[in-house]
Amino acid sequence: MTTKNQALAAWVQDVATLTRPQSIVWCDGSDEEYDRMVSLMQEQGTLSPLNSETHPNCYLHLSDPQDVARVEHLTYICTSEEEDAGANNNWLAPEEAKAKMEGLYDGCMDGRTMYVVPYCMGPVKSPYSRCGVEITDSPYVVINMKLMTRMGTLALKRIEQEGSFVKGLHSTGELDPNRRFIMHFPEELSIMSYGSGYGGNALLGKKCHALRIASWQARKEGWLAEHMLILGLESPEGETHYIAAAFPSACGKTNLAMLIPPEKYKDWKIWTLGDDIAWLHMDDQGQLRAINPEAGYFGVVPGTNAKTNRNAYEMIQQNTIFTNVGTTADNQPWWEDKKQGEPASDWKGNPYSSESGPAAHPNSRFTVSATENTAYSSLAEAPEGVPISAIVFGGRRKELAPLVYEAKSWDHGVLIGAGVASETTAAATGQVGVVRRDPMAMKPFCGYNFADYWSHWLSFSERTDNLPKIFHVNWFRQNDDGDFLWPGFGENLRVLQWMIQRCKGDADAVETAIGYLPSEQGIDVADLNIDPDVWQSLISINDDQWRQEMSDFGDYLDSFGDRLPEKLREQHKAVSAALG
Ligand code: SAT
Ligand code: MN
């Protein structure tokens, strides 16, 4: 196969000249191709079958132990002006970055096959979708892209019709952490990644394209590319509202997107549209509509069990690629908090011993097609997307942030989003558990200056009166002993329900300096046996702590200098003044 698109054909040729692969394969995205790649990887020893009776068509990939997470310190936005990348990104001049990368790519595919992977982010027939082509020397990337995107012939057809696509070049290189970079060129809609085979660094459709490059495109074209799950909440009367929610990596987006209502709410239903990324466009009624650009889930495995996320637990019993989990003696995948079986081998392929750490890496992942999820919404394939009623921001905070609060306006909601901070997780290399600022959960993913990004968010309230309400949640409050104050998981439905009632004007709230909080009876928790003092602390704020928070947040905003939008400063002043 080759292509009618001259720019694509020429680029593939140029890359081949630089990287000198043994052969070039154009991927068609078929099931036969997937099976062929799986067999090839087994021959090469990079994939092994799991127990085919308990886990049909499931495979295990163990990565290099030094290559298990995103590498934010090696990830760059390369714009001609440094200011356009902003203090929120690492920056290199495009020419310098390219020279560096070309040095690494020189002959790097010697003896390897080069795969050309056309893909479409979003339903192939949606006007909101965007295409890309990833060139990679990693069969692991090819099989993951098949599950995570609409990959192959249909995507290539769309590229040939439209003429435009994002160029992503990837080589695993030597997997040497000292020769590893993830470079983005938003002005040219291109990506260069070298030296890592890990998800967010190597599956270029995901964070690199659908967030970093797309956020840049979205600003130019008047839409939003966000680190958000999308879910539908259906009431017993059959009314469905759609919610988009942003949380940092490994803070429960997949669990929330697949939530199973508790017994008391068994007539309610959650539909999953997406668990990681949302593209939000405004339609001609001024309504924000969301599509999920992805077609699969690349979810955190540890902690997934029949209780925390039954949908996910069941969907990963078949047709799943596991990366960096342990295995049982009968070759089933095993991970911490699976609540079933015992580990025999760990994620490094060694016999399991509790002294040498967890059996599954804390950032071990499953890759599975979205269609394996029984709660997958049929509207996830709708070209026009779904109308969004509420936008939610959240982080992992032991203290400070209440269970839920509502913004007083869109512009105030933008301030709340910009104020998100969260304890770091194993999804990125570096220290875990330290609070860092993570505006809109986009710190690692915004492809341009945050100050310009907030201006873009604020511009939406000038375009329509029909915007979703904005909320903030925190499922992770703890007491001094480190116990969680809120049960979370399925019980989070109660909070979602309050939001939808607020959208419809049917729920009470108490106005505070930081926004509207639920009244004591606003969310029904009577059957949860939460101590009344604990409940109070979950739905109230500590003014002293918040004054400190607003002061720290103000310093952070100031670090963006003159580019910080005046409207955001005013919102910050208003909240600080209300706190006194
Ligand atoms: O970066 S990944 O997409 O691999 C996972 C995540 O951090 O959300
Ligand atoms: Mn993510």
Task: Find the mean pLDDT for residues 139-167.
Answer: 98
492 has pLDDT over 70: yes
Cβ–ligand 1 contact at 297 (below 6 Å): no
Q: Which amino acid is at 118?
A: P
Q: How confident is the model at residue 528 (pLDDT cuts 50, 70, 90)?
A: very high
pLDDT at res. 364: 98
Q: Give the Cα separation of 293 and 135 in Å (integer).
A: 19
Q: Which amino acid is at 452?
A: D
Nearest to 286 by CA among 388, 216, 417: 388
Q: How confident is the model at residue 278 (pLDDT cuts 50, 70, 90)?
A: very high
Q: Are 175 and 66 in contact (CB under 8 A)?
A: yes
Q: Model confidence over 280-308: pLDDT tens digits?
A: 999 999 999 999 999 999 999 999 999 99
- Tell me 130's DSSP state: E
Nearest to 340 by CA among 354, 326, 357, 324: 326
3-state helix, strand, coil in the chain (%, to 5): 35, 25, 40
pLDDT at res. 130: 98
Q: Which ligand is nearest to the CA of 425?
A: 1
Radius of gyration for the chain, computed over Cα atoms and rounded to the nearest angstrom: 23
**How many angstroms is it from 262 CA to the middle of ligand 2?**
26
Q: Tell me which residues are annotated as active site.
A: 251
> Do the domains 225-296+380-579 and 6-46+73-222 match in fold?
no
Cβ–ligand 1 contact at 443 (below 6 Å): no
Q: Are 367 and 324 in contact (CB under 8 A)?
A: no
Cβ–ligand 1 contact at 240 (below 6 Å): no
Q: Are 451 and 565 in contact (CB under 8 A)?
A: yes
Cβ–ligand 1 contact at 172 (below 6 Å): no
399 has pLDDT over 90: yes
HEC states along 315-373? HCCCCCEEECCEECCCCCEECCCCCCCCCCECCCCCECCHHHCCCCCCCCEEEEEHHHC
Q: Are 401 and 435 in contact (CB under 8 A)?
A: no
Q: Which ligand is nearest to the CA of 75?
A: 1
Q: How confident is the model at residue 2 (pLDDT cuts 50, 70, 90)?
A: confident
Pocket test for ligand 1, best of 144, 276, 366 (most atoms within 8 A of CB): 276
pTM beyond 0.95, yes or no:
yes
Distance set, CA 188 to CA 4, 216, 357, 448 (Å): 21, 11, 43, 14
Q: Which ligand is nearest to the CA of 247?
A: 2
Q: Model confidence over 539-572: pLDDT tens digits?
A: 999 999 999 999 999 999 999 999 999 999 999 9
Note the CATH architecture for domain 6-46+73-222: 3-Layer(aba) Sandwich (3.40)
365 has pLDDT over 70: yes
- Tell me 186's DSSP state: G
Residue spans per domain, the chain: 6-46+73-222, 225-296+380-579
- Tell me 205's DSSP state: I
- Number of continuous H segments (helices) and E segments (strands) in the chain: 16, 29
> Nearest residue CA, atom 6 of ligand 1?
249
Q: Are 554 and 442 in contact (CB under 8 A)?
A: no
Q: Give the Cα separation of 285 and 572 in Å (integer).
A: 30
Place of tokens 């703890």: 478
Q: Are 341 and 328 in contact (CB under 8 A)?
A: yes
Q: In whole angstroms, what separates CA 406 from the centre of its chain?
A: 23
Q: Give the Cα separation of 40 and 113 in Å (integer).
A: 12
**How many angstroms is it from 248 CA to the middle of ligand 1?**
9
Pocket test for ligand 1, best of 63, 67, 70, 198 (most atoms within 8 A of CB): 70
Q: Are 507 and 426 in contact (CB under 8 A)?
A: no
Handedness of CA 303, 307, 312, 314 (dihedral sign): positive
Q: Are 279 and 384 in contact (CB under 8 A)?
A: no
1 has pLDDT over 90: no
Cβ–ligand 1 contact at 246 (below 6 Å): no
Q: Model confidence over 214-255: pLDDT tens digits?
A: 999 999 999 999 999 999 999 999 999 999 999 999 899 999
Place of tokens 């087994």: 42
Cβ–ligand 1 contact at 323 (below 6 Å): no
Ligand 1 atom closest to residue 300's alpha carbon, by position in its atom list: 5
> Nearest residue CA, atom 5 of ligand 1?
200
Task: Find the mean pLDDT for residues 300-318.
Answer: 97
Return mean pLDDT, the chain.
Answer: 97
Pocket test for ligand 1, best of 71, 148, 204, 206 (most atoms within 8 A of CB): 206
> Nearest residue CA, atom 4 of ligand 1?
200
**How many angstroms is it from 301 CA to the middle of ligand 1?**
12
3-class state of residue 528 by DSSP: helix
Q: Are 195 and 261 in contact (CB under 8 A)?
A: no
Residue range 225-296+380-579, CATH number? 3.90.228.20
Polymer length of the chain: 580
Q: Give the Cα separation of 139 and 113 in Å (integer).
A: 9
User: What percent of the chain stands above pLDDT 90?
Assistant: 99
DSSP per-residue letters across 241-303: EEEEEE--TTSSHHHHHT----GGGTT-EEEEEESS-EEEEE-TTS-EEEE---SEEEEE-TT
The tokens describing 211, both together, are: 């967030």
Cβ–ligand 1 contact at 298 (below 6 Å): yes
Which of 83-87, 142-146, 401-405, 504-508 shows the lowest mean pLDDT across its residues? 504-508
133 has pLDDT over 90: yes
Cβ–ligand 1 contact at 197 (below 6 Å): no
Distance set, CA 522 to CA 402, 453, 506, 508 (Å): 14, 34, 10, 6
Cβ–ligand 1 contact at 70 (below 6 Å): yes
Q: How far apart are the first and last CA of the chain?
A: 67
Q: Which amino acid is at 34?
A: Y
44 has pLDDT over 80: yes
